[in-house]
Amino acid sequence: PISMCFGVATTLGSGVSADELLRRADLTMYQVKATGRDGVALYDKAVDEQVQENLTLLQHLQLALRVGGLKLNYQPMVDLESGLPIGAEALVRLETPDGETIPPDAFVPLAERTGQILALERWVMREGLDTLRRWQQQGLEHRLAINVSPTHLERGSLVEDLLSHRDRSGVDLRGLTVEVTETVLLQLQDRASTVLGRLREAGVRIALDDFGTGYSSLAWLSRIPIDEVKIDRSYITQMVEDPRCLVLIRGFVGLFRELGLRVVAEGIETEHQRQLLLAMNCPIGQGWLFGKPLPSGKLPWNHAAPPR
């Protein structure tokens, strides 16, 4: 099939040269192209400036997507009571040719603005599901969580990609959790609930990530299909010093549990925090106290004997 992507730039009021005009149209066209769909976009100066600033980073990212260089680390999620792992969250990193490791906060937003996010998250999904399938083959019941951006939910083919991976590899999607942020709920309410609903039909669980950092109302509780809520690290960090924060967390945990949602506390770094969370019946935790993000081969449960 023929596809068409247009980038539009104008000379209106800017007095730019013909070369510059073409460069702008070209850049804009590539933004459309990178979304993986037909479409048209108008040149955006703000995007251009960010692209220029981040040109090197963008080149690293493009290279990594083409020839490899993305790495997936896994951070354990544990049963707070026993401290035993119940799964892990996949967190992406970018390794540059000179051996530097770049954290996701530095390049994921750029990937979103420039349309690379679909390719990036498709890679994360495939890599993550391969790992999940290995766990399942070893007889482990650990869950894997992946982060999915609003753009991916809106424009990607997440459900189709997951199902085709499952048909090819035999991975059981009931072991997968997809983490979305409150932004998703704000930006694309109807479309999001459709995609999230289809994910759930496929057996995937949905988690709301970084809960408490956005401005979204709690209306989603009745509207959007959600299985799990992850309380943001900022609350856990302040909990010990700020009694009001403690009251808030206790309220969240009680509310979510009564609604039948799984509750995860993010960013637990101290035993004291763990004890406070246990006292308020928070069942699951994640944080440096239990383990930093690690390559899959270095996970504690991977030392188990390989399948025969």
Interface positions with ligand C2E (CB under 6 A): 75, 91-92, 103-105, 108, 121, 124, 147, 149, 179, 209-210, 233, 266-269, 286-288, 293
Tokens of 248: 């808030």
Please report whether residue 182 would count as binding Mg ion according to CB under 5 A.
Answer: no
Residues of this chain, 233-262, that bind Mg ion according to CB under 5 A? none
Picked from ligand C2E, Mg ion, none, the partner binding residue 91 (CB below 5 to 8 A depending on kind) is: ligand C2E
Please report whether residue 179 would count as binding Mg ion according to CB under 5 A.
Answer: yes
Q: Which of 216, 288, 197, 272 is nearest to 240 (CA)?
A: 272
Give the binding range for Mg ion (CB under 5 A) out of 57-65, 201-209, 245-253, 293-301: 201-209
Picked from Mg ion, ligand C2E, none, the partner binding residue 287 (CB below 5 to 8 A depending on kind) is: ligand C2E
State the minimum distance, in angstroms, from the CB of residue 213 to ligand C2E. 9
State the minimum distance, in angstroms, from the CB of residue 288 to ligand C2E. 4
Residues of this chain, 260-279, that bind Mg ion according to CB under 5 A? 266
Picked from Mg ion, ligand C2E, none, the partner binding residue 197 (CB below 5 to 8 A depending on kind) is: none
Contact yes or no for 50/103 (Cβ under 8 A): no
Q: Tell me which H or E stretch contains 258.
A: helix 243-258
Cα angle for residues 283, 133, 193 (degrees, 5° grid): 60
Please report whether residue 147 would count as binding Mg ion according to CB under 5 A.
Answer: yes
Q: What is the DSSP letter of 92?
A: E
Compute the chain's Rg from CA coordinates: 21
Q: Which residue has the tokens 């999940």?
A: 132
State the minimum distance, in angstroms, from the CB of residue 118 to Mg ion. 18
HSE-CB for 186 with a 13 A CA cutoff: 9
State the minimum distance, in angstroms, from the CB of residue 91 to Mg ion. 7
Tell me whether residue 41 or residue 88 sits nearer to ligand C2E (CB atom). 88
User: How far apart are the C-alpha atoms of 67 and 119, rounded to whole Å?
Assistant: 13
Contacts with Mg ion, 72-111, as mask; x by CB under 5 A = ----------------------------------------
State the minimum distance, in angstroms, from the CB of residue 200 to ligand C2E. 20
Q: Please, which contacts does 30-33 make with residues 24 or more away whose CB atoms are closer than 8 Å? A: 30/115, 31/7, 31/114, 31/115, 32/5, 32/6, 32/7, 32/115, 33/5, 33/115
Tell me whether residue 159 or residue 179 sits nearer to Mg ion (CB atom). 179
State the minimum distance, in angstroms, from the CB of residue 146 to ligand C2E. 6
Tell me whether residue 44 or residue 269 sits nearer to ligand C2E (CB atom). 269
236 three-state secondary structure? helix
User: How far apart are the C-alpha atoms of 286 and 151, rounded to whole Å?
Assistant: 26
Tokens of 292: 């930093």
State the minimum distance, in angstroms, from the CB of residue 234 to Mg ion. 10
Which residues pair with residue 147 across a beta bridge? 179
Please report whether residue 210 would count as binding Mg ion according to CB under 5 A.
Answer: yes
CA distances from 50 to 109, 111, 116 (A): 11, 11, 14
Residues that bind Mg ion (CB under 5 A): 147, 179, 209-210, 266
